[in-house]
Amino acid sequence: MDIIDLKKTIGKKEIIKGISFQIQRGEVFGFLGPNGAGKTTTIRMMVGLMGITAGDVRIEGKSIKSDYQAAVQHVGAIVENPEMYPFLSGWKNLQQFARMVDGVTDERIREVVALVGLEKAIHEKAGRYSLGMRQRLGIAQALLHNPSILILDEPTNGLDPSGIREIRMYLRKLAAEENVAVIVSSHMLSEIELMCDRIGIIKNGKMVAIEPVQAKSEDTSVVIVRLEAEPIEGALQIVKGHVMDDVVVEENVLTFSMTRETIPAVVKALAMKDVAIYSIHQQHTSLEDKFFDLIGENTIG
C-alpha cells in the first residue's frame, strides 16, 4: 500500500498536510499521534470512507481515486466500532456479513474464527462477549474477504491489559502467517510499541517521523533500569554480570540497561546476597523519548 502526499482540507482548514508512507505485506505498521493529530481522517481516506483533497492511495497498484472498487477489495477495516447483532451468535453474525461478500464459504468463516482465536465462544451470543472478544469478532469480519491489508483505528481503545495483549498477539500472527499488512492507529505508544514493526508519528496533520521498532516482544526488549539498593558495591557486583553496557553508579543508585526478561533473575540474586532493594523501576525507552520530543509534551492522551 502506497500513501502518496495525501491531503485533506475541510472548509478552510487543512487537516492533513501531505502524508506519505508505504506498508508491505507481513508488516504491522503503527500510526501514532495525540488526539486530533489526524489519524482517523487519514485512515478514512485510506479506506475510501472520505474523499481525498490531493494525493492518492494505491492498493496493490490500484488507485483509490480512479479505480475505487479494485482498490478497496484488498482492504479490510474497522474504523468505527464494529456493528454486531447482540442476540445472534458470533458465528451467525459472521454469516450475516458473509452474505454481503461474494464467495465467502463456511470454510472461510471457520478459518477467520481460528485466526482470531474465537473457536470456543463462536456459538455464544455476541452480546455476551467481552470488549476484546467483540474486537476480535470485528477483525474476523474484516478478514472474511481475504484482504491483503487490514486497517484498524484505535483497536486497543477501552481494552484492559489482557485484552490488549490478545489483540497484539493475533495481529502479529495475522501479519506473520497470513502475510497481511496491518495498520493500527493509537495515541498510546506503550500500547502499540510491542505489536508494530514500524511506527509513523503524526502531529498536526503531518508525518513527523517513521521509526523502526527494534524489540518485538515484551520480554526481549531492552529497558533502562534504575535500582536503589544497599550495600551498593554488593549490588554492583551482581548487576554487572547481566547488563548490556556500563553501569552508572550514583550514591546508592545504579542505572543500567538490560533485557526485561533478565530483571527477575537479578532481583533474586540480589536478595540471595542480602542486598536490600529500596526501589527498582524502568525508565523511558529511546523510542518513547523520541516520541515525547517530537510531540513536545509529556502526556499524550
Ligand X SMILES: Nc1ncnc2c1ncn2[C@@H]1O[C@H](COP(=O)(O)OP(=O)(O)OP(=O)(O)O)[C@@H](O)[C@H]1O
Tell me which residues touch ligand X (CB under 6 A). Answer: 10, 13, 15, 33, 35-41, 187
Min CB(38)–ligand X separation in Å: 4
Half-sphere exposure of 63 (CA within 13 A, CB side): 10
Residue among 151, 161, 92 nearest 131 (CA): 161
Min CB(201)–ligand X separation in Å: 11
Q: Which is nearer to ligand X, 115 or 152 (CB)?
A: 152
Min CB(154)–ligand X separation in Å: 7
Q: Please state the length of the chain.
A: 301
Min CB(52)–ligand X separation in Å: 14
Q: Which is nearer to ligand X, 15 or 236 (CB)?
A: 15
Burial state string for 145-181 with b = 16 or more CB within 10 A and e = fewer than 16:
bbbbbbbbbbbbeebeeebbbbbbebbbebbeebebb
The crossing angle, in degrees rounded to 10, of helices 106-115 and 161-178 is 120
Min CB(33)–ligand X separation in Å: 5
Burial state string for 256-295 with b = 16 or more CB within 10 A and e = fewer than 16:
bbbbbebbeebbebbeeeebeeeeeeeeebebeebbeeeb
Report strand pairing: 2-10 vs 54-59: antiparallel
Report strand pairing: 75-78 vs 149-152: parallel
Residues contacting residue 53 through CB under 8 Å, at least 6 positions apart: 7, 8, 9, 16
Q: Which is nearer to ligand X, 16 or 225 (CB)?
A: 16
Q: Which is nearer to ligand X, 49 or 269 (CB)?
A: 49
Q: Which is nearer to ligand X, 70 or 188 (CB)?
A: 188
Min CB(293)–ligand X separation in Å: 19
Min CB(9)–ligand X separation in Å: 10
Q: Which is nearer to ligand X, 33 or 90 (CB)?
A: 33
Q: Which is nearer to ligand X, 51 or 103 (CB)?
A: 51
